[in-house]
Amino acid sequence: MNENNINNKKKQDEESIINQAASEEYRYGFVSDFETDVIPKGLDENVVRRISQLKNEPEWLLEFRLKAFRHWQTLPLPKWGKVNMPDIDFQAISYYAAPQTKTGDKKEIDPELKKTFDKLGIPLEEQKRLSGMAVDAVVDSVSVHTSYRERLAELGVIFCSISEAVKDYPDLVRKYIGSVVPYTDNFFAALNSAVFSDGSFVYIPKGVRCPMELSSYFRINAAQTGQFERTLIVADDDSYVSYLEGCTAPMRDENQLHAAIVEIIVEERAEVKYSTVQNWYPGDKDGKGGIYNLVTKRGICRGDHSKLSWTQVETGSAITWKYPSTILKGNNTVGEFYSVALTRNYQMADTGTKMIHLGKNSRSTIVSKGISAGHSENSYRGMVKVAPAATNSRNYTQCDSLLLSDTSGAHTFPVIEVGNDSSIVEHEATTSKINEDQIFYCNQRGISTEDAVGLIVNGYARDVMKKLPMEFAVEAQRLLSVSLEGSVG
């Protein structure tokens, strides 16, 4: 075969692979047919009061919501992200949707709902569990089931929905809610504080090492609703917990809003590991529909020697706007951020982290891997700030971007600020396409281009993947290979 033929064949191969990849459907795009209580669309003080009333909340929480709502009204929609954010009509969204339980008993799972979670591969019934993982499942605005609660309670670990926590542990919730992400923080934090519906609450008491992975599974099901969940994790002195978060949504032509807040408080010598596999519906191949994922995630290493580690695999959402951050307040604290963000078709992701060094000898590591294909835009935006008092601090940042098409964009916007003479901050970033030599080498050894791309990208993302808990790593790896098949062009 002459060279031309080989080239033509290669091109045809690549084209067919691309077509195949483009037609790859979103697996979780089904709609479940259970009944949902939805309050009418629109947002005003009465809606905020209604949400609070539906959830039988105490007066102080209603006050908190109202303060946040009034503040939110004064804020403009932020436009600084490197995403093409359309004007969102906040009056066209319903702010509360609760799946109805036919039996009326919350402990009993609606069979339709159970089917949904079976389809998603999320086991809600303990006996079917293979590995020890406790799951809190949140559908639309309500937490529908939390497994393994009793076993955890024996150790003093509280793992429940935040609505239950407000009733059962009001002092704990009141002490910590809004302490890391105040409602004044930003537009979406204010919105969430006003209308948040459910989410998970975790409290690990002093000296307890949580024996199993805790996990939340978020699912948007109802149409024309938004999901505004709130997660609060408190790890008391000398404790440890690993928390996982997963999310999916049905395929719809409309854009749906997801504006969450995650707050994490890590006390002395405690360690929290927070992992996310974000797979919200990304819209179709023409960029129609998809979730706007606009979340505020922040943790504080309050005590000395504490550690907070964020790991995220971002493959979904039409727009992602998310910066899991760590405030390293205590001395000798450690912050970590590992991220793989994959965008294809018309997805836009603007994600990164902030590491705020306030304590002495604090250390942080940032590893961010961006992969952009199709017509997508993928940005890393990060900040490393070393306060004058944070002497001997150390940061290492690596953010690499891989471009798989000539119509996609990859951007890096880091900010570094160093205020003393004993800290070391390093940042490096590269942007390139998949190395043709590597693909050629793989081809030569009988590995198809498609598999070669998969291999190379998985190798490229390995630094992050190996930080994920095993159960998630498998899912994440599969997600990556599904999304990437044939994206080489």
Partner 1 sequence: MNNSLKQYIDLHDQNLKAINSHSATQLNSLRQEARKVLENATLPPKGSDDYEATDLNEALAPDYGVNINHVDLSRESTTKFRCEVPNLSTCLYYVFNDTFRPSATAGQSGDKASVESFQNTKHPEVLAKHYGTVASLNNTCTALNTMLAQDGVLIYIPKGSATSKPIQLINVFDANARLMAVRRLLIVLEDDAQAKVLVCDHTKGDQQYLSLEVVEVIAGRNARLDYYHMEESDNHTTRLSQLWARQSEGSNVLIDGITLTNGFTRNDYHIDVDGEHCDTHLLGMAIATSSQHVDNHTLINHNAPRCHSNEMFKYVLNDNAIGAFAGKILVKPNCPKIDAYQGNRNIVASPTAHMYTKPQLEIYTDDVKCSHGATVGQLDQDALFYMQTRGISLPVAQKLLMQAFMSDVVDGVRLDTLRDRLRHLVEMRLSGDAMICESCELKK
Q: Considering only residues 102, 424, 466, 478, which one is a binding residue for partner 1 as defined by CB under 8 A?
A: 424
Supply the minimum distance, in Å, between the C-beta of residue 435 and partner 1.
Answer: 10
> Considering the rule CB under 8 A, would residue 23 count as an interface residue with partner 1?
no
Q: How far is Cα 99 from Cα 162, in angstroms, rounded to an integer? A: 17
> Considering the rule CB under 8 A, would residue 433 count as an interface residue with partner 1?
yes
Supply the minimum distance, in Å, between the C-beta of residue 417 and partner 1.
Answer: 5
Q: Which contiguous run of DSSP H or E holds residue 174? A: helix 170-176
Both structure tokens of 277: 């596999």
> Considering the rule CB under 8 A, would residue 189 count as an interface residue with partner 1?
no
- 8-state DSSP, 282: -
Mask 97-136, x = binds partner 1 (CB under 8 A)? ----------------------------------------
Q: How far is Cα 40 from Cα 20, in angstroms, rounded to an integer? A: 41
> Considering the rule CB under 8 A, would residue 414 count as an interface residue with partner 1?
yes
Mask 37-76, x = binds partner 1 (CB under 8 A)? ----------------------------------------
> Considering the rule CB under 8 A, would residue 425 count as an interface residue with partner 1?
yes
Q: Considering only residues 416, 447, 455, 482, which one is a binding residue for partner 1 as defined by CB under 8 A?
A: 416
Q: Considering only residues 52, 256, 325, 408, which one is a binding residue for partner 1 as defined by CB under 8 A?
A: 408
Select from 211-219, 311-319, 359-367, 410-418 the region that touches partner 1 (CB under 8 A).
Answer: 410-418
Q: Considering only residues 50, 115, 288, 427, which one is a binding residue for partner 1 as defined by CB under 8 A?
A: 427
What is the DSSP code string of 100-133? PPTTS-TTSPPHHHHHHHHHHT---SGGG-SS-E
- Residue pair 130/87 in contact (Cβ under 8 Å)? The answer is no
| Amino acid making up residue 144 | V
Please say which residue, 30 or 460, places its beta carbon nearer to partner 1: 460
Q: How far is Cα 179 from Cα 482, in angstroms, rounded to an integer? A: 39
> Considering the rule CB under 8 A, would residue 312 count as an interface residue with partner 1?
no
> Considering the rule CB under 8 A, would residue 15 count as an interface residue with partner 1?
no
> Of the candidates 461, 396, 399, which has an alpha carbon nearest to the alpha carbon of residue 431?
399
- Residue pair 296/184 in contact (Cβ under 8 Å)? The answer is no
Q: How far is Cα 432 from Cα 429, in angstroms, rounded to an integer? A: 10
Q: Radius of gyration (Cα) for the chain, nearest Å? A: 22
- Residue pair 218/244 in contact (Cβ under 8 Å)? The answer is no
Q: Under rule CB under 8 A, which residues in 69-88 are in contact with partner 1?
A: 80
Select from 66-74, 95-103, 145-153, 424-432 the region that touches partner 1 (CB under 8 A).
Answer: 424-432
Select from 106-114, 211-219, 227-235, 420-428 the region that touches partner 1 (CB under 8 A).
Answer: 420-428
> Considering the rule CB under 8 A, would residue 431 count as an interface residue with partner 1?
yes
Q: Considering only residues 430, 441, 459, 478, which one is a binding residue for partner 1 as defined by CB under 8 A?
A: 430
Please say which residue, 80 or 446, places its beta carbon nearer to partner 1: 80
Supply the minimum distance, in Å, between the C-beta of residue 340 and partner 1.
Answer: 18
Query: Burial of 98 by CB count in 10 Å (0-12 exposed, 13-18 middle, 19+ buried)?
Result: buried
> Of the candidates 91, 88, 216, which has an alpha carbon nearest to the alpha carbon of residue 142?
216
> Considering the rule CB under 8 A, would residue 186 count as an interface residue with partner 1?
no
> Considering the rule CB under 8 A, would residue 347 count as an interface residue with partner 1?
no
Residue 186, beta-bridge partner list = none
In the numeric block, the tokens 């406790």 are attached to 134
> Of the candidates 366, 298, 329, 340, which has an alpha carbon nearest to the alpha carbon of residue 475?
340
Q: Considering only residues 428, 441, 459, 466, which one is a binding residue for partner 1 as defined by CB under 8 A?
A: 428
**Which residues make up the interface to partner 1 (CB under 8 A)?**
80, 388, 391, 401, 403-433, 489
